[in-house]
A and B are shown apart, each in its own frame.
Chain A
Amino acid sequence: MYELIVIGGGPAGLAAACAAWDSGLRSILIVERDRELGGILNQCIHNGFGLTYFKEELTGPEYAHRFVELLSKTGVEVRTDTMVLEVTPDRKVHMTGPETGYVVEEAKSIILAMGCRERTRGAIAIPGSRPAGIFTAGAAQRYVNVEGYMPGKRVVILGSGDIGLIMARRMTLEGAKVLACVEVMPYSGGLTRNIVQCLEDYDIPLYLSHTVTDIKGRDRVEQVVVSRVDERRRPIPGTEMVFDCDTLLLSVGLIPENELTSGAGILLDPRTKGAVVYENMETSVPGVFACGNVAHVHDLVDFVTQESQRAGAAAAKYVLNGPAGGETIDVINGSGVSYTVPQRIRPENVEKTAGIFFRVNRIFGKSRIVVSNREGEVAGFNRERLAPGEMERIALPAKLLENVKGELTVAIQEVE
Chain B
Amino acid sequence: MTDVLIIGCGVIGAAAAMELSKYKLSVTVLERENDVAMGTTKANSAILHAGYDPHPGTLMARLNVRGSELAKYYCEKLDVPYRQCGSMVLAFTRADLDTLDILYDRGMKNGVKGLEIISGDEARKREPELADTVLAALWAPSAAIVSPWEMCLAFAETAVKNGVKIEFNTEVTGLERDGGCWRVTTDRGVREARYVINAAGVDSDTIHDMVAEHDFEVKPSRGQYYLLDKSEGSRVNTVVFQCPSEKGKGVLVSPTVHGNLIVGPNAEPSDKHDTATTAEGLDFVRETAKLSVPGVDFSKSIRNFAGVRANAGRDDFLIRKAAPGFIDLAAICSPGLTSAPAIGEYAAELLGREGLELEEKESFELSRRRIRFKELTDEERRKLVARDPSYGRVICRCETVTEGEILAALRSPVPPCSVDGVKRRVNAGMGRCQGGFCGPRVVELLAKDLGVTPDRIVQDREGMWILKEETKGVPGSV
Contacts and interface: CB of A to CB of B under 8 A. Distances in A.
Interface in A134-149: 136, 138-139, 142-144, 146-149
B389 interface: yes
B276 A152 contact: no
A233 to B, nearest CB: 13
A149 B471 contact: yes
B474 A148 contact: yes
Nearest to B458: A132
Contacts of B472: 174-175
Interface residues of A, number: 54
Interface string A142-181: 1110111111110000000000000000000011000000
A101 B475 contact: no
A123 B466 CA distance: 21
B276 A130 contact: yes
Contacts of A149: 454-455, 467-471, 475
A125 B304 contact: yes
B276 A153 contact: no
Interface stretch (B87-95, B251-259, B393-401): B393-401
A83 B455 CA distance: 28
Given A101-B389, A127-B278, A117 B433 contact: yes
Nearest to A120: B434
Max chain B Cβ within 10 angstroms of own Cβ: one of A103, A127, A150: A127
Contact of B389 (A83, A99, A153, A174): A99
Interface string B187-230: 00000000000000000000000000000000000000011000
Contacts of B440: 139, 142-143, 146-147
B325 interface: no
Contact of B277 (A83, A128, A218): A128
Contact of A33 (B276, B390, B394, B455): B394
A101 B433 CA distance: 25
B470 A148 contact: yes
Contacts of A96: 381, 385, 392-394, 402
A132 B277 contact: no
B302 A122 contact: yes
B306 to A, nearest CB: 8
Interface string A227-269: 0000000010000000000100000000000010000000000
B362 interface: no
B262 to A, nearest CB: 13
A317 interface: no
Interface in A93-110: 94, 96-104
B307 to A, nearest CB: 11
B305 A130 contact: yes
A219 B464 contact: yes
Interface in B361-401: 378, 381-382, 384-386, 389-390, 392-394, 397-398, 400
A33 to B, nearest CB: 7
B233 to A, nearest CB: 13
B184 to A, nearest CB: 26
Contact of B459 (A132, A146, A246): A132
A85 interface: yes
Interface residues of B, number: 64
B475 A136 contact: no
A147 B454 contact: yes
A123 B301 CA distance: 5
Interface in A300-319: none
A131 interface: yes
Contacts of A94: 378
A118 interface: yes
A125 B301 contact: yes
Given A33-B394, A33-B397, A220 B464 contact: yes
Given A98-B385, A218-B273, A148 B282 contact: no
Given A117-B433, A153-B468, A122 B301 contact: yes
A219 B463 contact: yes
A98 B384 CA distance: 11
B397 to A, nearest CB: 7
A142 B460 CA distance: 20
B73 interface: no
Nearest to A85: B400
A77 interface: no
A127 B475 contact: no
Contacts of A150: 467-471
Given A98-B389, A101-B389, A122 B304 contact: yes
Given A136-B436, A174-B471, A83 B394 contact: yes
B392 A102 contact: yes
A133 B465 CA distance: 8
A213 B475 contact: no
B289 to A, nearest CB: 14
A124 B469 CA distance: 29
A151 B468 contact: yes
A118 B470 contact: no
A120 B454 contact: no
A101 B382 contact: yes
B475 A128 contact: no
B451 interface: no
Contacts of B402: 96
Given A125-B226, A127-B304, A136-B436, A220 B463 contact: yes
Given A131-B464, A218-B273, A219-B461, A117 B436 contact: yes
A101 B400 CA distance: 15
A148 B455 CA distance: 10
A74 interface: no
A62 interface: no
A150 B381 CA distance: 38
B179 interface: no
B392 A118 contact: no
B467 A128 contact: no
Nearest to B280: A127
B165 interface: no
B84 to A, nearest CB: 28
B460 A147 contact: no
A103 B302 CA distance: 31
B432 interface: yes
Interface string B270-295: 00011111110110000000000000
Contact of A139 (B381, B382, B400, B436): B436
A232 B130 CA distance: 30
A216 B468 CA distance: 18
Interface in B305-356: 305
A129 interface: yes
Interface in B439-468: 439-440, 443-444, 454-455, 458-468
Nearest to A128: B276
Interface in A335-386: none
A220 B461 CA distance: 10
A46 interface: no
Q: Which 4 A-B pairs have the closest CB atoms?
A: A148-B475, A122-B303, A219-B463, A98-B389
16 contacts: A98-B392, A101-B385, A101-B386, A104-B378, A118-B433, A120-B303, A120-B436, A122-B302, A122-B434, A127-B278, A127-B281, A146-B440, A149-B471, A150-B469, A215-B276, A216-B276
Given A97-B392, A101-B386, 10 more contacts: A83-B394, A117-B437, A118-B436, A120-B433, A121-B303, A124-B301, A127-B276, A127-B278, A139-B436, A139-B440
Interface of B: 226-227, 273-279, 281-282, 298, 301-305, 378, 381-382, 384-386, 389-390, 392-394, 397-398, 400, 402-403, 432-437, 439-440, 443-444, 454-455, 458-476
